[in-house]
Amino acid sequence: MSGFWRELFHPRDAHGSEQTLLLCTYILGLTPFRLRGEAGARHYQLSKIGYLNALIQLSFFSYCFLTALIQQQSIVGYFFKSEISQVGESLQKFIGMTGMSILFLCSTIRVRLLIHLCNLISRIDGHLLDVGVVFNYPAIMRLRHSQLFLMSTVQLAYLISSTWMLLRNDVRPSYPAAVAFYVPLIFLLSTVILFGAFLHRLWQHLEALNKVLKNLSHQWDSHSLKGVVQKQRSLQCLDSFSMYTIVTKDPAEIIQESMEIHHLICEAAATANKYFTYQLLTIISIAFLIIVFDAYYVLETLLGKSKRESKFKTVEFVTFFSCQMILYLIAIISIVEGSNRAIKKSEKTGGIVHSLMNKTKSPEVKEKLQQFSMQLLHLKINFTAAGLFNIDRTLYFTISGALTTYLIILLQFTSNSPHNSNGNYYSCCETFNNITNHTN
């Protein structure tokens, strides 16, 4: 048991550094496999209990979603009731149920892709060790613990504060409605953290690879390659997660190793994209839909477009929906920024390789660099949502444009609704009568 706790906080390999995160997602039913074996001989094993857990979770959430949909119960209905809000509630429940089904189905059907991705990360670490890069696995695990703690704290704070707000106004939501409203966010953010964890490792690998190549360039700049080879190995800190040491290898060997590492990194990125592609499409779609309707509810209240009959104060109403909107916005930003950072780091490698080609005098090294350049031309890192759109910063512009369009349509629909039209008609008639009486 002492070995388990020691390994839990002081992992010695790539598999061990992710075991806490994978354990949490295993409990949620998102990763139905377990890590087996000791450090150095670890392997992942599919778990029947994990599959059963995923099936039970999916059945439970489907029951809650369907019950809330049939009984027309929702958390939003306690705050605000209108034709648009009822349509929004139904859409959110339907897409929420569909989204949860996609998350669980992809997690169980494509689980071997995720295991392959974990093994690729470990293989890349091994290749980087051959060129002098050592990763600080305890620091990586501490980062995962911090991310899980932050996610749990934020969601717990949101749940407690919103529940207190409901109870304070004598509102007691039904259990299916509460599950349908609060629980999907837990699974969505857990998937985002899992995706971000693999992106983080890809950032580290690309950063380490670029550092190895830059070190060759610095050696050739100082014309001290032979002297460096004879020096003792000296550690240099790449970042808080890794260390680098100069290795006594021929430059052609280092470039060959770098080519293999880059190929494995691109394979890992392609595997991550293939595994997460439908989950990312689901998360972004659900988040966008909820952001649209939450922004509409908030703007309609602040602009006074319609009279709201509710027990809740305007401040409580706006705070509740703004917090939910921010949480889903964080999910989109985390996905986009993580993907964009990996893409940008991969683009730096080409410049370093061509800089080395201009500096080298060795025909053998130049030939290797030309091969590396061709590999960089054909192997690129990119992330898409089921091939429908690229996941990079251009997505911000797309979402902003679509959000603005839908908000204008919804607000115009509210302004032209019969209730508001009648109100405007009577207001105009009253003003006209006052003017007539004053004239008389």
pLDDT digit string, tens, across residues 270-289: 999 999 999 999 999 999 98
Q: What percent of the chain has pLDDT over 90?
A: 39
Which percentage of the chain shows pLDDT scores above 70? 81
pLDDT band at 297 (very low <50, low <70, confident <90, very high): confident
Is the pLDDT score of 326 beyond 50? Answer: yes
Rounded to the nearest 5 degrees, what angle is found at the Cα of 151, between the Cα atoms of 205 and 76? 135
Confidence at residue 223, expressed as pLDDT on a 0 to 100 scale: 53
- Of residues 364 and 69, more confidence is placed in 364
Poorest-pLDDT segment among 27-36, 39-48, 192-201, 277-286: 39-48
pLDDT at 226: 47
Residues with Cβ within 8 Å of 337's Cβ and at least 6 positions away in sequence, in order, are: none
List the one residue out of 280, 272, 274 whose CA is nearest residue 102. Answer: 280
What is the rounded CA–CA span in Å between residue 159 and residue 151?
12
What gap in Å lies between CA 36 and CA 45, rounded to an integer? Answer: 7
Q: What pLDDT was estimated at residue 39?
A: 67
Q: Which 3 state secondary structure label does DSSP give 35?
A: strand
Least confident range from 28-32, 62-66, 162-166, 304-308: namely 304-308
Higher-confidence residue of 31 and 315: namely 31
Looking at residue 252, its pLDDT comes to: 84
Q: What's the rounded mean pLDDT across residues 134-157?
A: 92
Determine how β-strand 33-36 pairs with β-strand 235-239: unpaired
Pick from 359, 333, 124, 373: nearest CA to 242: 124
pTM (2 d.p.)? 0.86
In which band, very low, low, confident or very high, does the pLDDT at 417 lie, cut at 50, 70 and 90?
Answer: low
What is the model's pLDDT at position 4?
Answer: 57
Rg, the chain, Cα only: 28
Positive or negative, the Cα torsion across 219, 224, 226, 228? negative
Tell me the torsion sign for CA atoms 64, 65, 66, 70.
Answer: positive
Q: H/E element holding 46?
A: strand 43-46
Work out the average pLDDT over 363-385: 90
Q: How many CA atoms lie within 13 A of 219 on its CB side?
A: 23
Dihedrals φ, ψ of 338, to 5°? -65, -45
pLDDT of residue 200: 94
Burial zone of 20 (CB within 10 Å; 0-12 exposed, 13-18 middle, 19+ buried):
middle
Give mean pLDDT, residues 222-237.
47
Give me the pLDDT at residue 401, please.
Answer: 93
268/47 Cα distance (integer angstroms) = 23
Average pLDDT of the chain to the nearest whole number: 82
Spatial contact of 387 and 274, defined as CB atoms under 8 Å apart: no
Q: How confident is the model at residue 315 (pLDDT cuts 50, 70, 90)?
A: confident
- Flag whether pLDDT at 225 surpasses 70: no
What mean pLDDT do residues 311-334 have?
A: 86
Collapsing DSSP to helix, strand or coil, 233 comes out as coil
Please tell me which of 193-197, 324-328, 415-419 the model is most confident about, judged by mean pLDDT: 193-197
First to last CA, the chain: 95
Whole-Å CA distances, 219 to 215, 352, 366:
6, 13, 16
In what helix (H) or strand (E) does residue 358 lie, and over which residues does it extend?
Answer: helix 314-359
Distance CA 194, CA 48 (A): 21
pLDDT in tens, 393-415: 999 999 999 999 988 888 887 66
Query: Which pLDDT score is estimated for 50?
Result: 92
Task: Give pLDDT, residue 184.
Answer: 87
Helix or strand (DSSP H, E) at 235: strand 235-239
Q: Single out the residue of 174, 245, 217, 181 nearest to residue 352, CA to CA.
A: 217
pLDDT at position 412: 82
